[in-house]
Every structure is written in C-alpha cells, then in structure tokens.
Structure 1
Amino acid sequence: MKNYIFIETPLGKMTLAEENDYITNIAYGEITLEASCENETELLSQAKQQLAEYFNGERKEFNLPLKPSGTVFQLSVWKALTEIPYGKTASYKTIANKIHQPCAARAVGMANNKNPIVIAIPCHRVVGAKGIIKGYGGGVDKLKFLLKLENITDVEDFPIKW
C-alpha cells in the first residue's frame, strides 16, 4: 500500500508518495492514488525536507530512493533525466541519443510529460532544439519558477516571456 502526504511549496500543494521504501510520486496538486493511505513515513519526511532545501536553494541533488512506474522506454528516459546536472538543460534529441533511440525525440517529450516524480526526476531541465521551451506538464508558471530557481538562462523565450 502506498503512503502519501500533501505539502505546501512555493509552487502550491504537492503530493508525495512512497511504497515499499521507494518514492513513487512527487506531483503538483493533491492527487488521488489508488490503494493508498495518508501517512507521513520517515521516507516521506526525508523527501519533504529535501524538497524544502531545494526550494530554499540549499540542495542541488536529491538523495532519495526513486521508483517511478512506467514503460521500459519511459523508465529509460526518466533515468537519463536524473543525469542532467542542476542548472543545466538538455534537449529532447540529446536525451533520445543518450538512450540510444536517436529518432525518438517526440517520444522523449511524451515520456517527459508522464514523469510521476517531478523535480527529483528533473523533467523541467529538458528543452527543445536551440533551447526553445516547448511547454511543461505542470504549467509554464511552474517551469519559469524552476528555471529561475536553478539560474537556467540558456533558453529562448518561446512561449515564455521573461
């Protein structure tokens, strides 16, 4: 059974969930999870603390056991995302090449959009060719916040206006 908590962040409410000592979800808003119980476990407390440190500019890497649920392709994309350093970006094409699927840039974008563990699996660091912002599943306002938090300025203004 999954355990979950809701936390307040600079980006509004978020849901954190864990199962069998792995973080399975970090999501924007209050999401409903099947077969779950609201219960703040030690691991969820650690995740909450690490997110607070990240939002305060004190943490650049997460040290949490992550276990997202997805297809083999999605899991390969999400693993590649965790290798993008804080304050840097990578293109969809770069991620496609990294996972040895050079023609899968669009599919990388779709996997990016389905990321169940936002921020810790940094889907916000993926941009289009030439640094163009294509959008963000959490909303452009959240993306702008995260990019500014990490001092990422090597992206173009489409569709974001700085």
Structure 2
Amino acid sequence: MKQHTVIDSPYGPLTLVADDGVLCGLYMAGQRHRPSEEAFGERARPAAFDAAEEQLEAYFAGRLTEFTLELRLNGTPFQRRVWEQLRSIPYGRTRTYGDLAEALGNPGASRAVGLANGRNPIGVIVPCHRVVGADGSLTGYGGGLDRKRRLLDFERGAAIF
C-alpha cells in the first residue's frame, strides 16, 4: 500500500512516497517524470517518513553526506543498476554519464544511462544531480537545471540557500 506526505525543503516542497512502509519516491514540485498524485496513495505519516525527513533535514543543514535509509527502487533491472551506481558517487563530487556506463561494464551505454538517470524515483537521496555531461556541463535534471546547480553548489560549499 502506497502512502505519501509533503515536506518543506530549501528547494521547495518534496513529496515522499512509501510502499508498504519503505521509501520508494522523493519528488520535487514540477519534476519531469513525476507520477500523478493518485499514484502516491493516501496522505499519511508512516515511520519511514520520519527517518527520511530527519536525514533530509541533516543533509540540507550540511551535517549529513550519505543517506542510510532503506529504499525500494522500482524500475527495470538496468535502471536499478544505474541508480545503485548513483548512490556510489561521493557527496560534493560528480561523474559523467560515460563514467557510469563504464562502471556498468558497457561504455557505449551513456545515452541509456542518461535515460535511466532521468527516471530516478528518489531524487536527492539517490543523487542523480551529481551526473554531468562529458564536458562537465550541467545537462538534464528532472527537478530543473537551476535546482541541479544549486544542489551541486551547496554540496561543494559554494552556496547557501
């Protein structure tokens, strides 16, 4: 059974979604590939949201650099492999789509990695914002390039909300 809640963040409201008490979604307002509100289930407050909100608050306060939440990453096997690679990108660092494709053992899969990255259902916690173009440029982000830039600047200590 899916449940959701909405919390405030320095990047606007975040919708947290849990499936049987396990976090399976974190969506920003206006996010590309955001499911319909009906897909989020009833509005409720399971324990999974308390832990997620605590860790997100610590992250946004600069006290947490690695999330330790139980996650349910719903997607294809390839997407889940990409999302697991995203979780290995250190705080404050970036990787290219090509780097991720190489790490997956398929250097020609940069485009497929980009598509999977764009479908990441748990933004911020699964840090798809840390992926950049081959030349280091900011490319595509479901939450918008301005948010991506702000998240990367925040992690690098260059900006305060």
Moved more, 101-110 or 143-152: 143-152
2:73 and 2:29 map into 1 onto residues whose CA distance is 18
Q: State which drifts further: 78-87 or 136-145.
A: 136-145
What one-letter code is carried by the residue in structure 2 that aligns with 1:50? Q
Consecutive unaligned residues in structure 1, runs of 5 or more:
154-162
Q: Deviations over 1:91-124 (max 9, x none)?
A: 1001001111211001111111110000110000
CA–CA separation in structure 1 for the residues paired with 2:39 and 2:118: 21
Q: Which residue of 2 aligns with 1:82?
A: 87
Alignment length (residue pairs): 153
How far apart, in 2, do the equivalents of 1:28 and 1:66 lie? 17
What is the DSSP-based 3-state SS (H/G/I as helix, E as strand, rest coil) of the residue aligned with 1:130? coil
Deviates more, 1:34-43 or 1:94-103: 34-43
| Counterpart AA for 1:11 | Y
What aligned pairs does 1:53-92 form with structure 2 within 5 A after superposition?
53-92=58-97
1:88–1:152 contact (8 Å) kept in structure 2? no
In 2, distance between residues paired with 1:12 and 1:48? 14
Asked whether the 8 Å contact 1:77–1:95 carries over to 2, the reply is yes
Task: Answer yes or no: is 1:137 the counterpart of 2:142.
Answer: yes
1:39-78: CA deviations, max 9, x gaps? 1111111101111111111110101011121111111100
Alignment partner, residue 16 of structure 2: 16
Q: Among residues 125, 128, 150, which one is paired with 2:130 in the alignment?
A: 125
Instruction: Give 3-state SS (helix, strand or coil) of 1:96's partner.
Output: helix
Q: d(CA) in 2 for partners of 1:97 and 1:3?
A: 36
Shift of 1:33: 4.2
What is the 5 A alignment of 1:17-32? Answer: 17-29=17-29, 32=37
Structure 1 residues 58, 35: CA separation in 2 closer, same or farther (over 3 Å shift)? closer
AA at the equivalent of 2:74: S
SS in 1 for 2:135: helix
Q: Calculate percent identity across the aligned residue pairs.
A: 39
1:108-160 Cα deviation digits (max 9, x unpaired):
1111111000011000000111312112111111111101110178xxxxxxx
TM-score by length of 2: 0.89
The answer for the alignment partner of 1:116 in structure 2 is 121
Offset, 1:29: 1.9
- Paired with 1:119 and 1:76, the residues of 2 have a C-alpha distance of 17
Structure 1 pair 59–137 and aligned structure 2 pair: CA distance change class (3 A)? same
